[in-house]
Chains A and B, each alone.
Chain A
């Protein structure tokens, strides 16, 4: 038996808001199953459970903001299931006689506020609305408190939200699922901590991509668009291989010092079109084939932009890649995301003059950089690591 806790989704997160339970007390859950949705500065994140068992009790109700580490639910053998929901909705029909109750309007209106248990945030917490309706309302930026529900007992259901959205002349474009100011603050906190605590050292090298590009063009020629590779997939795979060989760059620096990770969960910095940045991880990146890795990358980008990242992806990166290549710069020196100890940067792939053998050749090339934590390793090893990425990229067929 154990408690399911509000997860820490990065060093910068202090609290999160539980938006939605995807399970009920009594439900059997499997390790890795998504059981809750949590709103953070990085948007809504699907949170997985880390053990199999039965949901015995939900401690915290939807729309409750709690600090990281707060127990949210109990997972056990199923012997002590408490079916009572933590967030009891008012139930007008079955309510006891008014004299035993505090002064409550008997009208079953979804917008009516009733006295409630403490630790609640927001108006929406106190309206009766289906999870789908809550989610859609958040996406559209609609305040539930202003709506009239048409569902059972006047609950707000999805069509009430959709109705409101289409009734408004032209609703603002759906928010990308995160609060831009909150995200800015979260990035600021993490980067300040990084620059305050981590003694960065920086290295750069230029890598000839002639072989890698030629191989990829051959590969892509017979593939439909949905199966084609992007050079970013090769960069990720080559980096994962190099991290496998240089484990001092893969892991977390904690109060107890550096703890290398056996898993290589390679983060990828994804720019969100509405502003902001997230760096979810491709889990076990070294074990994936290039087509698999490409699919995972596409899926991560899609989910990062539409909300729907998982907790293990958000908090789990053991090293991170940033590829500003398309944005038109040759070189990017990253800032390490604590508690990680390395950030690997890939600039724009550009044709440039390179010395090949005894002659000058025009070759596609990329500047690869490393920002690494000097508490853990030195430039000598960092240089070997970058050279290993180069070596991997020269044999793309083996990636």
Chain B
């Protein structure tokens, strides 16, 4: 799976949680919590959805490394390539 495909999957799951976010114009560098008003419940739901879909378990200790979409991609990409 390449980065674009992964990005599309994340955006799809994000849309399901926060349908009001316009994923076409989403800024990959923006902090999801501040810029798109994702709270801790939304974030957990997103990780749960990604866990189910991609079978990648993101431990809580790594949350701090994933504030933006691009950071989330950086984190997931090498883990999926294996």
When A and B form their complex, which 6 residue pairs have the shortest distance between CB atoms, in order from nearest? A326-B39, A225-B47, A225-B48, A226-B48, A220-B60, A225-B51
A228 contacts the other chain (Cβ, under 8 Å)?
yes
B20 contacts the other chain (Cβ, under 8 Å)?
yes
A221 contacts the other chain (Cβ, under 8 Å)?
yes
Q: What is the bound-complex CA distance between A92 and B54, given in angstroms?
A: 54
Query: Number of contacting residues on A, CB 8 A?
Result: 23
Q: What is the bound-complex CA distance between A224 and B58, given in angstroms?
A: 8
Main secondary structure of the interface of B (DSSP, over half): helix
Q: Which single member of B37, B44, B50 contacts A228 (CB below 8 Å)?
A: B44
Is the CB–CB distance between B18 and A273 below 8 Å?
Answer: yes
B-side contacts of A273, CB under 8 Å: 18-20, 37
Known A173-B19, A274-B20: A326·B40 in contact at CB below 8 Å: yes
Give A219's nearest chain B residue, CB to CB: B60
Q: Which of A232, A302, A326 has the most CB of B within 10 A?
A: A326
Could you name 6 residue pairs across A and B whose Cβ atoms are closer than 8 Å?
A173-B19, A224-B57, A225-B50, A232-B41, A298-B44, A325-B40
Q: How far is the CB of B21 from chain A (nearest CB, A)?
A: 9
Main secondary structure of the interface of A (DSSP, over half): helix
B-side contacts of A232, CB under 8 Å: 40-41
Interface of A with B (CB < 8 Å)? Answer: 173-174, 176, 217, 220-221, 224-226, 228, 230-232, 271, 273-274, 297-298, 301-302, 325-327
Q: What is the bound-complex CA distance between A16 and B50, given in angstroms?
A: 39
Interface of B with A (CB < 8 Å)? Answer: 18-20, 33, 37, 39-41, 44-45, 47-48, 50-52, 57-61
Is the CB–CB distance between B51 and A224 below 8 Å?
Answer: yes
A-side contacts of B52, CB under 8 Å: 226
Given contacts A225-B48, A274-B20, 11 further A-B pairs with CB under 8 A are A176-B19, A217-B60, A217-B61, A220-B60, A221-B59, A224-B51, A228-B44, A228-B60, A273-B37, A297-B41, A301-B41
A-side contacts of B33, CB under 8 Å: 326
Is the CB–CB distance between A221 and B61 below 8 Å?
Answer: yes
Is the CB–CB distance between B20 and A230 below 8 Å?
Answer: no
Q: What is the bound-complex CA distance between A375 and B34, given in angstroms?
A: 40
Give B47's nearest chain A residue, CB to CB: A225
B-side contacts of A174, CB under 8 Å: 19
Q: Which of B19, B33, B37, B50 has the most CB of A within 10 A?
A: B19
Is the CB–CB distance between A221 and B45 below 8 Å?
Answer: no
A-side contacts of B18, CB under 8 Å: 273
Known A174-B19, A273-B18: A225·B41 in contact at CB below 8 Å: no
Q: How far is the CB of A216 from chain B (nearest CB, A)?
A: 9
Is the CB–CB distance between B58 and A225 below 8 Å?
Answer: yes
Q: How far is the CB of B55 from chain A (nearest CB, A)?
A: 10
Q: Which single member of A217, A298, A327 contacts B41 (CB below 8 Å)?
A: A298
Is the CB–CB distance between A225 and B44 below 8 Å?
Answer: yes
Q: How far is the CB of A346 from chain B (nearest CB, A)?
A: 12
A-side contacts of B61, CB under 8 Å: 217, 221
Q: Which single member of A221, A297, A298 contacts B60 (CB below 8 Å)?
A: A221
Q: What is the bound-complex CA distance between A327 and B41, given in angstroms?
A: 12
A-side contacts of B47, CB under 8 Å: 225
Q: What is the bound-complex CA distance between A174 and B52, given in angstroms?
A: 25
Q: Which of B41, B44, B57, B61 has the most CB of A within 10 A?
A: B41
Q: How far is the CB of A150 from chain B (nearest CB, A)?
A: 28
Q: What is the bound-complex CA distance between A217 and B41, given in angstroms?
A: 16
